[in-house]
Amino acid sequence: MSEGRSADVALLRKLSPLDGMKNDNLAALARKVSIRELPANRMLFKEGDTERRTYWLISGMVELREGERTFAMIRGGTPEARMPLSPKMPRRQAARAVDTIEYLVVDADLLDMMITWDQTGTYEVGELQAQFGSGAGGDDWMTTLLQTKAFHRIPPANIQAIFMRMQRVACRTGEVIIQQGTEGDYFYAIVSGKCVVTRETPLNREGIRLAELSIGDTFGEEALISEAKRNATITMLTDGVLMRLSKQDFRELMNESLQQWVTYPEAREIIAKGGKWLDVRLPSEFQNLAIEGALNIPLYFIRLKLATLDRNVPYVVYCDTGRRSSAGAFILLERGFDAYVLRGGLASAESELRRPG
């Protein structure tokens, strides 16, 4: 499979159910997808496939097979090709390229979200861009946010309210946006420019460099969720523009929509099916008391350690009370992980607690 030409509104308008979408929303979708190519005799997808993607055939011919039987032969540009290929999950047919084909594939959750927005009339990309202006970075930051799995879980009406309530802030190189140890007041998204995340320790007053953030990245959520002080300093590496959302709006519009709280018995079921415990307390707390088999990544360290976590594994995040763990779960959810928060913290898991020695 290879990347091909870019998609355009005229092409998407020929496909169902995209043909019913508003132009602005269809244009936004066109910027997120491209027309790909697949050589002859290669499989586009297999029977029983459960990957949540929606495929349309653009050119060439595809054979749909059920077991050893040919179910249909579909050629691009025909009325049959207007519809998605084998859309039900798990897929009832396998799809094989008879000759070299071009096809379009869209994340099924993203597609469902955009069609929902379109039909409810609460989301207009054109309106949002008009309010914020294109500016440096264009609408890349907005597109990046909308494509995250976390935003797929937020009600459509909330999405528009989030963008409408955000304030635009121009920043200069070296400007400190968040200072470690201060109270949390805003949630931020980067429109243009870059930021660096540092954390001061008793042994390093200048701060340990934890991460570098760029267009579409977000920060500031931990203190808003956990009611704790800022656990790191965020400084502009370059001139840039940030969008910020107040603490009250963040909690009302984003946090409540995203959190997945589970009881201890529910968490045990998730773990039994392949999930993992994730402890976001400090190493000293973890060494004193923890759930058997848990991973320990302190909350302030999560962004730096995301690459060590498996996106195919659900995580049950915990701390003492649920405050830090809810902040940790939010970060994971926002970045495409499946994360749950243990309601009641460690007190609800007394039967599985271990002590050193």
Q: Are residues 132 and 213 located together in one domain of the fold? A: yes
CA-to-CA distance for 291 and 233, rounded, in angstroms?
Answer: 31
Q: Give the CATH number for residue 190.
A: 2.60.120.10
**Same structural domain, 148 and 271:** no
Residue type, 9: V
Helix 23-30 / helix 108-120 crossing angle, nearest 10 deg: 160
Q: Which two tokens stand for residue 83?
A: 């519809």
Residue 130 and residue 243 share a domain:
yes
Q: Are residues 164 and 268 in the same domain?
A: no
Q: Are residues 242 and 325 in the same domain?
A: no
| Distance between first and last Cα of the chain | 53
Catalytic annotation present for 319:
yes
Half-sphere exposure of 236 (CA within 13 A, CB side): 20
* 236 and 315 part of one domain: no
The CA-atom distances, in angstroms, between 97 and each of 1, 44, 57, 66, 183 are 11, 7, 10, 15, 57
d(CA 327, CA 338): 14
- Which helix H or strand E contains 317, and what residues bound it? strand 315-318
What pLDDT is attached to residue 123?
42
Q: Is 201 helix (H, G, I), strand (E, B) or coil?
A: strand
On whether the CB atoms of residues 223 and 183 are closer than 8 A, the answer is yes
Q: Is the dihedral of CA 120, 123, 125, 131 positive or negative?
A: positive
- Please choose, from the candidates 227, 216, 221, the residue with its C-alpha nearest in 3D space to the C-alpha of residue 246: 221
CATH assignment at residue 323: 3.40.250.10
- Residue 203 within any structural domain of the chain: yes
Res 117: pLDDT:
62
Rounded to whole angstroms, the Cα distance separating 111 from 109 reads 5
Kindly state whether residues 22 and 139 are assigned to the same domain: no
What is the model's pLDDT at position 226?
77
Of 112, 111, 68, residue with least CA distance to 93? 68
Q: What is the pTM of this model?
A: 0.56
Catalytic residue among 223, 297, 319, 327: 319
Same domain, 65 and 153: no
Q: With respect to residue 115, please indicate whether it lies within any of the assigned structural domains.
A: no
Q: Are residues 341 and 221 in the same domain?
A: no
Per-residue pLDDT at 293: 92
pLDDT, tens only, 190-244: 888 999 999 887 777 777 888 899 888 888 888 888 777 888 899 999 999 998 9
Q: In this structure, are 185 and 164 located in the same domain? A: yes
Per the structure, the count of domains in the chain is 3
> Which residues share a beta bridge with 63?
73, 96
pLDDT value at residue 150 = 64
Note whether 301 and 319 are same-domain residues: yes
Kindly write down the DSSP assignment for every residue of 70-137, as one continuous string.
EEEEEETTSGGGGSPSS-SSS-SSEEEESS-EEEEEEEHHHHHHHHHHHHHT---HHHHHHHH---TT
Last residue of a domain, one of 224, 255, 286: 255
Instruction: Specify whether 142 is located in the same domain as 195.
Output: yes
Q: φ, ψ for residue 114 (rounded to 5)?
A: -70, -35
| Mean pLDDT (10-residue bins), the chain, 357 residues | 74 89 80 89 94 93 94 94 91 95 88 66 47 48 67 72 85 95 90 91 78 87 82 93 90 79 94 96 88 91 88 94 86 87 86 59
Q: For residue 133, tell me if it sits in a domain.
A: yes
Domain containing residue 323? 259-354
